[in-house]
A and B are shown apart, each in its own frame.
Chain A
């Protein structure tokens, strides 16, 4: 509104200025024509020194009501004849012509004076002055202003009407459409539709197209949901299948191990009898062979036991009782000391509060970890094995630390996989089942196990018995 008003005002002012200019010029031309006529008609009067006739000629200017006064001067600027519209004797102070050969005019505030030389056959006879008032100009100015103002007012009114119509039919529907779009994006509700305006114009087309688009989006969204549900279903099915397969496999391995136990047991028994009863009757070589048979037999048994343990861990029902981990650790440490009294190992066992879990399985965990530490510190003269607890993210994390041989942390991703060993059997005995078992048990309790180590500086095995918030960056977990 402001913009159009200003534009109208400027346009009006420009036209007005132009009109004033042209009108003024017109006035000058009219006066000039009259001066020419009066001048040429006064030639003989000037030549023959007849001011009366000249005055008569001037008096004809009465026909132009805007002319206030007129005068004829002789060539030496003496007053010759005068005309005054309103009578009376008025001293006319008229400006001299700057150039006696040419016409001149002066626009004053209330009147216009035009002067012209009277030249007859190349001879300057005198000058004619005409003075006109500017009433016409003023009248025109006022009329123009009134019209301009009226037009301006009308235009503004019309503009405001058009603007409000426009707003109603175009702006409002578009704004409401934008609102709908925004709310759809925000609430993700694709069932919303924009309300049609009821008109049949381009904006209505836009609304229609928009609604169509929303319908499409809605269909896509539904499809997406369906696809998602389908996928979930398939995943669940596969998981079920996998679980079944897994369980069958476990059962198989359990039964195999179990069946293996008998013959191996028999093997060990007979070898024992041989070594006990017939060692004197056999030569050294035979006794050595028997001793090696016994060694292998023992190892095989151990392996079978471990395998059986591993399967038991996952198959059996899990108990939930308060368990004292510290007591378990102490017991195992005592047993270790008793089994190899020649070794000097420093045990540091921290007091821990009781935890919820299966006592048998947790025994296996601590047993495995402590025995590992015991095993891998066998070359360390000042061996030190610790058991304790830390708090991470508000949850207790237990650890077993040793200063033994350690392992390369780069290959730690295979640490918890069955049969993966970091060291050869010659260096350290073992079958590589232990940590896999530990991981299974700990995961059944809802926690996890991970390790940190540096070669030559020992290892620390951490485990938690409930869902941790986040596993440290150096942790290693095998693919489940």
Chain B
């Protein structure tokens, strides 16, 4: 990754950065890692959603990898790749894909729709209707507008809302364990909101 010739220089830079961070850091730096960023938390959530959702077994789509796709501008940086590195869902290795077009989403299991695509949301959702994939986004009102899981920031914490109707329409099942911790669950016959 880094050219050999530049090793001494970059090494020195890293060392400098390390020294500076030592002096600047408070107690928090003694933790095994620094406080996770918003991207890291969201990335972790998306990865974890995969553990609580069941996809229909579809023979034509039996690929070896479980793909998490990002549509539009990727807000996570490398966070998603870092989170899923070495992990598996359903025994499959996890792959992260960046898409520019929704049409490419056929093989995805989880599709994150970036907030940049807010204007095209309606067409996106109609395209992938009944596509047997989980849609996640942090676009405000995503769940109300037919998205499945909407990431919400509340009081400095990342929460989420689940639209169970949208989930079941796509042929997916979401575990009640997940619904338990959701901020809001909509779309069920008894739509209820947990007052937190």
Contacts and interface: CB of A to CB of B under 8 A. Distances in A.
Interface of A: 41, 43-45, 47-50, 52-53, 76, 120-121
Contacts of A49: 41, 157-158
A44 B180 contact: yes
A48 B31 contact: no
19 contacts: A41-B177, A44-B52, A44-B175, A44-B180, A44-B181, A45-B181, A47-B44, A47-B181, A48-B45, A48-B159, A48-B181, A49-B41, A50-B159, A53-B180, A53-B181, A76-B31, A76-B32, A120-B51, A121-B51
Given A44-B177, A47-B181, A53-B180, 7 more contacts: A41-B177, A43-B177, A47-B51, A48-B159, A48-B160, A48-B178, A49-B41
Nearest to B41: A49
Q: Which of A41, A43, A44, A76 has its CB near the most chain B CB atoms (within 10 A)?
A: A44
Interface in B143-161: 157-160
A77 to B, nearest CB: 11
B48 interface: yes
Contacts of B45: 48
Nearest to A50: B181
A45 B48 CA distance: 11
Nearest to A123: B87
A52 B175 CA distance: 18
Interface in B19-59: 31-32, 41, 44-45, 48, 51-52
Contacts of A41: 177
Contacts of B120: none
A121 to B, nearest CB: 6
B122 to A, nearest CB: 28
Contacts of A50: 159, 180-181
Nearest to A120: B51
A354 B155 CA distance: 156
A121 B48 CA distance: 11
B89 to A, nearest CB: 9
Q: Which of A43, A45, A76 has its CB near the most chain B CB atoms (within 10 A)?
A: A43
Contacts of A44: 52, 175, 177-178, 180-181
Contacts of B158: 49
A49 to B, nearest CB: 6
B196 interface: yes
B194 to A, nearest CB: 8
A215 to B, nearest CB: 99
Interface string B168-180: 0000000101101
A43 B177 CA distance: 8
Nearest to A57: B180
A47 B31 contact: no
Contacts of A48: 45, 48, 159-160, 178, 181
A43 B51 CA distance: 11
Contacts of A47: 44, 48, 51, 181
Contacts of B175: 44
Contacts of A121: 51
Nearest to A41: B177
A29 B52 CA distance: 29
A121 B44 CA distance: 15
Nearest to B181: A50
A255 B99 CA distance: 179
Nearest to B52: A44
A451 to B, nearest CB: 134
B38 to A, nearest CB: 12
A382 to B, nearest CB: 144
B35 to A, nearest CB: 12
A44 B45 CA distance: 10
Nearest to B176: A44
A2 to B, nearest CB: 65
A53 B160 CA distance: 14
Contacts of B31: 76
